[in-house]
Chain A
Amino acid sequence: MAYTVTRPKLTFWEKMYLPQVLGGLAITLRHFKNMITGKTKVVMQYPEEKWDASLPPYYRGAPALVKDEKGRERCVSCQLCEFICPPRAIRILPGEIPAGTKWAKVEKFPLAFDIDMTRCIYCGMCEEVCPEQAIFLRKDYAITGFSRDQMVHDKAKLYEIGGTLEGLVFKWNPLK
C-alpha cells in the first residue's frame, strides 16, 4: 500500500546545505582526531594483540585428546566421535590392548587418531558424545599449515594440544 513519507521540516540553515556540510565535516574530523590520539580504541592489531584473555569459558576451538592426571590416555577408541562428526573429520584406527595386561579390561586404544582440521567445523559434538571425556575442544583457534597434510592433526599433535585434564566431567559444566 502506498503511503506518504512525512518529510522533516528543515530550518533555513539546514536548507542552505553548506552549514550542514560543515557540521558533517566536524563530526568526521572528531572521529579522525580520536583515532589519531588513541581515544577511540576499537581495533585489535591481531598478531601482536590477541583476544585469548577474553575468550569465554565455553569457547570452542580446536578439538584435542587429553590424558588423565596419571598420564593415561582416556580414549578407548569407541569411535562414537568418528560416527557423530558431521563433516567426517575424525579417523580412528582402533588397536587392541592384549589380554592379561593390567588394563586389559579397557580392551581398545587408538592406534591412530587423525582429525582433519580443514574439515572440522568446531561444532563440539565429539566432545558432547565422548563417554570417556577424552576429547575436548580447546581454545586454540589459529590452526595453520602450508599443506593439507599439515592440517591433519595426528595423535601426537592432538595430545600436545590437549595436555592433561584432571578430574572429571568438563562436559557437565553449566557454562558449556
Chain B
Amino acid sequence: MDILNSIDWYLIFTSLAKTVVVLGIILTMVSYTVYAERRVSALIQDRLGPNRVGFPITLIGAAKDFSPFLGGLGQPIADAVKLLLKEDFTPAHVNKFYYWIAPALGIGAVIVTLAVIPFGSTFLGDPMCIAPNVNIGPLFIFAFSSLGVYGIVLAGWSANSKYSFLGGIRSSSQMISYELSLGLSVIPLFLILGTLDLSKIVDYQVTNGWLLIPFTNGHMTWSKFFLWFPIFISFIVFTISMFAETNRLPFDLPEAEQELVGGYHTEYSSMKFALFFLGEYAAMIAGSSLIVTLFLGGWHLPFIPDGAGVGGLDALHVFPAWIWGLVNIAVFFGKVAALLLFFIWVRWTLPRFRYDQLMRLGWIFFFEIALVNVFITALIVAFFPK
C-alpha cells in the first residue's frame, strides 16, 4: 500500500474517481434532461409526454416492468438503445475526416469544461472538483466552450449540404457575438471577488453570501446592497448569453427546423447525431453549473455544514462530516437541475428571434450593457470598499 500513500498516485486515483463520478452524473443528467424536456414541454402544451416506458426488468424475469412514480423514466434508456442500434450512415458527398471529427469536438469540448467546476465542498478531505485550484477557472471554461463552436462549424461545412452550411454559419456568428457579452458580463464579478479560481469564488460566497442573494450569510451591508444591482445585471446578461451559447430557444437559429431542416446536424444519423444532441444538453449543464458556481453560491446552502463539518447549524454537527460532503454535492446538482428546468421552461415559452433581432440584441444591447456594467461596478467597488 506504499504506492497509494505517495502523493502522485493519490492524486491520480482521486482524480480518476472524481472524473468517473462526474461523467456518470453528467451523462445521466443529460439523458434525464432530455426526458424532462419532453415531459415539461408536453405538460406546458396540455399533453402528457412519454409516460409509459419503465425499466425493463421483465428481461431478467420480473412479472412487470418497473415504472416508478412519474412513469416513462425508462425512456432515456430506450432512446439510447435506439440511437446506438440505428444505421450510422455517412453520406457519399461529405468530407469524411471533418464529418467524423465534428461530433467528437462538439461533445468533447463541453465535457472538458466540467473539469474546473467545484461540484461539492470536500469529501473525506478531498476537494470535490476534478482539477482543483485552477486559477483561470472561467477563462478555461470560456476557452473550451468556444472550441465547441468548431464542432458545429465543421459539421455544417463538411456535410456539404446547404442547410447544414447555413446552420453552421449562423451558429458561428451567433456564438462569436454572444461570447463577447458572456465574457464581459462576468468581469464585474471578478472586480468584486479578485480571483478567477472557481473554488475560491464559492468560498467567498459561503462567507459573504451568494452573489445574487447576498443575505444568505445572515447580514447585509451597504456595499453588498449597491453591488447587488450590477451583479443582477450581469446575471441577466450572462444567463441570456448562455442561452445563446448553448443554442437554446429563443436563440436556436443554428437548428431552426422550419428553415433549415435540422441545421448543422441535418446530415448526421444514429450515434453521431446523438453526440451533437448530448453535447448540446451537456453544454446546458456546464453552463448551468457555471451560473450556479458564479452567482448562486455553488454547493453552499445556508445552515448546511460543508464537507469538513465547518459552518452551518450546530445541531447538524452530530452527523459525520462526510455526509455533509455528499449533501453539498446533492445541493449543487439540485441547483443545476433547477436551472435546467428554467432553461426548459423558457424554451417552451418563447418564440425564436429573427436573425437580425438576434444580432441587434447581442451587439447593440448586451455588449454595451455588459461594458457599462463593468465601469459601474468599478465605481461602486472604489467608493464603497468592503
How many residues of chain B have a CB within 8 Å of chain A? Answer: 13
- Which residues on B sit within 8 Å (CB–CB) of A35? 43-44, 46, 48
A-B contact pairs, 22 of them (CB 8 A): A18-B236, A21-B349, A21-B350, A24-B349, A24-B350, A25-B345, A25-B346, A27-B349, A28-B348, A28-B349, A31-B44, A31-B45, A31-B46, A32-B40, A32-B43, A32-B44, A35-B48, A36-B43, A40-B46, A43-B47, A43-B48, A45-B48
Residues of A within 8 A of B (CB): 18, 21, 24-25, 27-29, 31-32, 34-36, 40, 42-43, 45
Min C-beta distance of A16 to chain B, whole Å = 11
- Which residues on B sit within 8 Å (CB–CB) of A43? 46-48
Min C-beta distance of A8 to chain B, whole Å = 16
- Which residues on A sit within 8 Å (CB–CB) of B44? 28, 31-32, 35
Measured CA separation A28–B236 after assembly (Å): 20
Measured CA separation A28–B350 after assembly (Å): 10
**Most chain-B CB neighbours within 10 Å: which of A27, A28, A34, A43?**
A28
Residue of B nearest to A43 (CB): B48
Whether the pair B345, A31 counts as a contact (CB closer than 8 A) is: no
- Which residues on A sit within 8 Å (CB–CB) of B236? 18
Measured CA separation A28–B349 after assembly (Å): 6
- Which residues on B sit within 8 Å (CB–CB) of A28? 44, 345, 348-349
Measured CA separation A21–B350 after assembly (Å): 7
Residues of B within 8 A of A (CB): 40, 43-48, 236, 345-346, 348-350
- Which residues on A sit within 8 Å (CB–CB) of B349? 21, 24-25, 27-28
Question: How many residue pairs at the A-B interface have CB separations less than 8 Å?
Answer: 35
Residue of A nearest to B40 (CB): A32
Residue of B nearest to A29 (CB): B345
8 shortest interchain CB distances as A-B pairs? A35-B43, A28-B349, A24-B349, A28-B44, A32-B43, A43-B48, A32-B44, A25-B349
Residue of B nearest to A24 (CB): B349
Residue of A nearest to B346 (CB): A25
Known: A28-B348, A36-B43. 7 other contacts (CB 8 A): A18-B236, A28-B345, A28-B349, A35-B43, A35-B44, A40-B46, A43-B48
Residue of B nearest to A26 (CB): B349
Min C-beta distance of A35 to chain B, whole Å = 4
Min C-beta distance of A144 to chain B, whole Å = 18
- Which residues on B sit within 8 Å (CB–CB) of A25? 345-346, 349
Whether the pair B346, A31 counts as a contact (CB closer than 8 A) is: no
- Which residues on A sit within 8 Å (CB–CB) of B40? 32
- Which residues on A sit within 8 Å (CB–CB) of B350? 21, 24
Whether the pair B43, A31 counts as a contact (CB closer than 8 A) is: yes
Min C-beta distance of A59 to chain B, whole Å = 25
**Most chain-B CB neighbours within 10 Å: which of A31, A42, A45?**
A31
Residue of A nearest to B43 (CB): A35
Min C-beta distance of B136 to chain A, whole Å = 32
Min C-beta distance of B346 to chain A, whole Å = 7
Measured CA separation A84–B233 after assembly (Å): 74
Measured CA separation A27–B350 after assembly (Å): 11
- Which residues on A sit within 8 Å (CB–CB) of B346? 21, 25
Measured CA separation A21–B236 after assembly (Å): 13
Measured CA separation A49–B48 after assembly (Å): 14
Measured CA separation A16–B336 after assembly (Å): 28
Min C-beta distance of A72 to chain B, whole Å = 46
Measured CA separation A27–B46 after assembly (Å): 12
- Which residues on A sit within 8 Å (CB–CB) of B46? 31, 34-35, 40, 42-43
Min C-beta distance of B73 to chain A, whole Å = 17
- Which residues on B sit within 8 Å (CB–CB) of A18? 236
